Chains A and B, each alone.
Chain A
Amino acid sequence: MRQSKTTFMSVCSLITIDGTVDGDVVAGPRKSPSTETVKGSLMVGGQPSVLNGEAYSARIAAQVIKLGPKAKLDGDLLAGGQSLECVKESNVGGDVIFGGYQALLAGQIGDEVRGSMANCRLEGSVGGDVHLQVRR
């Protein structure tokens, strides 16, 4: 798919967006979605979810969630899963809210971090407050 100006919904095994989506993307791929630019919200439920593009915000439920080095979210990231990894070059402009087992937050987070997890490592910068529940 190269370009779409409406909400894009899909339940498939693999989704690759090599272009720009003006609206939202709601998808449930079995494999990792590959996105270029989503001007709306990205709502994904899949087994692994690796974001390496731009979107306004993202709601992700997946076993492994990873924000790659080119990932850039202007808004919030709401995620639930076993593992969340925000690599060093990733950028989330709003809040990061996560519930799961472990989180590695090495990128830049513009606003607050809220979460409940067993393991958490902070390596990056957080622009707002941090509210964490760490339970083992």
Chain B
Amino acid sequence: MSTYKFGGDKNAPNMNFGPPPPVAMPSVPGGLTIADSATIEGDFELSREAGGRHRPESHVNGETTFSQEKPAQSTAGRSQASPSVFAKALGRVKHLVCVALVGIAVLCSSALEHRLGRYDSDPPRQSFLAASG
């Protein structure tokens, strides 16, 4: 059995990050709360994270709009999430289709050049140099 000893004064006061404010802060309930005495003449737009439940329509004379924000996901969790088998297969099929389309386009263009008789064994650059020189 090991015994660990830690230094420091166990009777030391708790650490404070600054003095308490000389003006008392009001106690406000979490999230958004609207008292019965509240009146809103215009529109009400609330953007909040998922899980809110307040419905202030009775206090609002205008329109009420809610938008919920998705909770932020950690990047580590997103990077560890592996794609499913269906997603992998779909990616392979997409790759094959793209390669096939490029190949078909190349074949079609060369066949068209043969048919039109424009096929020249000399590259255009050599023809240009011969004409200019």
Contacts and interface: CB of A to CB of B under 8 A. Distances in A.
A121 B52 contact: no
Interface residues of B, number: 32
Nearest to B48: A134
Q: How large is the interface on A (under 10, 10 to 19, 20 to 34, 35 or more residues)?
A: 20 to 34
A30 to B, nearest CB: 10
A104 interface: yes
Contacts of A32: 22-23
A2 interface: no
A119 B26 CA distance: 11
Contacts, number: 106
Nearest to B42: A129
Given A130-B45, A136-B49, A125 B39 contact: yes
A131 interface: yes
B28 A119 contact: yes
B37 A123 contact: yes
Interface of B: 21-23, 25-26, 28-35, 37-49, 52, 56, 59-60, 62, 69
Given A123-B38, A127-B41, A129-B44, 13 more contacts: A64-B23, A66-B23, A103-B28, A118-B30, A119-B29, A119-B30, A120-B32, A122-B34, A124-B38, A129-B42, A130-B60, A135-B49, A136-B30
